[in-house]
Amino acid sequence: MGNFDGEDHWMELHGVGVGRGIAVGPILRMPDPLPEPDAASHSGDAAAEFARVEESLSAVSAELAAKGAKAGGDAQAVLEAASMMAQDPTLTDDVRARIDSGTTGERAVFEAFSAFQEILIGMGGYMAERATDLGDVAQRIIAHLRGVPAPGVPTSDTPFILVAPDLAPADTALLDLDKVLGLITRDGGPTSHTAILARAKSIPAIVGVTGALDLADGTVVVLDAPAGLVTADPADALVADANSRVAARAAASTIPIVDGALADGTKVPLLANVGSPKDGPGAVELGAEGVGLFRTEFLFLDSKTAPTVAEQQAKYTELLSYFPGKKVVVRALDAGADKPLAFLNSAHEENPALGLRGLRALRASEQILLDQLTALKGAQDATEADLWVMAPMVADAEETKYFVKLGKTLGLKTVGVMAEVPSLAVMADQVLAAADFVSIGTNDLTQYTLAADRMLGSVASYQDPWHPAVLRLVKLLGDAGAAAGKGVGICGEAAADPQLAVVLVGLGATTLSMTPAALADVRAELAEVTLEQARAKAAAALAASDAASARRAAASA
């Protein structure tokens, strides 16, 4: 979508904004990928040709690992995984076989990696998302073989706004924040890799922008993430207004951190989503009032067997120790679909997102669940944190009762469930009669409500938690929670969208949990509205017919 001016070039482009940020500056586009290598034959010395490729594989692997070590945090894990792709034995064997049959090294790398990409895309979910990373690794290897720089983020002496089809994790993880003012991508939705990393780095971004690649290098734009709007060749008045908003936001970041609350004093605790114990101190520093989602998969994903009770208890205790007297919500192992585990669910499934995942997988391998809950009970008793434990992928009251009873029998104090499956929201009254609390995972709830795989670019436009169908399910849960006197939290990416956070509170959410980098923006937005105003915005969004209309209706209510 966009508006043309009289000279037939884009003035306004629309997409999905990430965060509250504003950026003003000239754009630079990501360089085009390297051209596909010719289907030529090598000189006849296959051993020498493969040796040349091996050198490039090693060099790219080492480069990615070094970039990961430099980036640290979540980015390090992503880049180390990419580094391992460059040395994957299956791919290396395929490249060798192609070279032995006469193909050049460049072409062999291109064909082998492309074939593996097709396999990953066919698997769907998390594995399909890795296909983009694999393509980036192949480009780097081919560039090394050619002796040319790998396509990547352009360099510039002056700050710029980066425009790209999408960004590989290796690019996003190491952006120079002194130079890159903001991101505009043609592809992706609010839960895409680019959006999540942009949010974690507090980079203003708009994703899913049709027409983004039509912008010429050097075009000055105003990137307004809250409005999801890119304005090209803006008038001086608009530039001045945007610059004043940038300055105001910078000034607001120096204000002392306070607990989350609305303008009328209504408390809305702001919690952090964390993926490992080492994320705890950083979350506290950014003002997290506790943890709303602790993903325990990090303990399991790299293991061929499940970790022991003692190993798990040590890690859970480490995290809980950072939050004495504060709430820490731990999600039981959420494996399956985009996170397959050999020891839990190795059987092939045609559509794993609708298969044996979450609590379903844990019930089928109950000892793994019993061990995890036992380890959590040990951590609960060893620390002063207020531990809450929840199950993922819960469909109804029967599954809720099963998990709550198991947790309570093992000695856990507060036991609840995640609302990611629409059926749970439809049965909200029964669920909240059985559970101590419910936490809404908006990423999956949106995926399942709109029948759109959240990892699939072709249906990314459906992956928008502003959709009134999703908001109506949130309201069912919020109303049931209020009637039962129990908490209903939000722990999906939706909580990190400041305008949507206000609407979610208006629908009955009692706490919001998000990537720690989003806490300041959400805190600032909540402080500007009363509960009555939040409810009015929520009502306006509920009455809309689609996600874009809901955003506009809430903004003007």
List, by residue number, the catalytic residues. Answer: 193, 491
Collapsing DSSP to helix, strand or coil, 292 comes out as strand
Alpha carbons 356 and 333: distance in angstroms, whole number? 13
Residue matched to tokens 């698997």: 123
Strand order in the sheet with 2-4: 2-4, 10-14, 229-232, 220-224, 22-29, 160-164, 180-185, 205-207, 16-18
Instruction: Give the tokens for residue 319.
Output: 């995290």
- Contact between 431 and 396 under an 8 Å Cβ cutoff? The reply is yes
Collapsing DSSP to helix, strand or coil, 129 comes out as helix
Residue 189 Cα distances to 182, 185, 308, 457, angstroms: 16, 10, 38, 8
Nearest to 56 by CA among 135, 137, 114, 141: 141
**CB-based burial label for 251 (10 Å; 0-12, 13-18, 19+):** exposed
Ramachandran bin of 126, using left for φ above 0, alpha for ψ from -120 to 50, beta for the remaining angles: alpha
**CB-based burial label for 198 (10 Å; 0-12, 13-18, 19+):** buried
- Contact between 249 and 201 under an 8 Å Cβ cutoff? The reply is no
Alpha carbons 262 and 248: distance in angstroms, whole number? 20
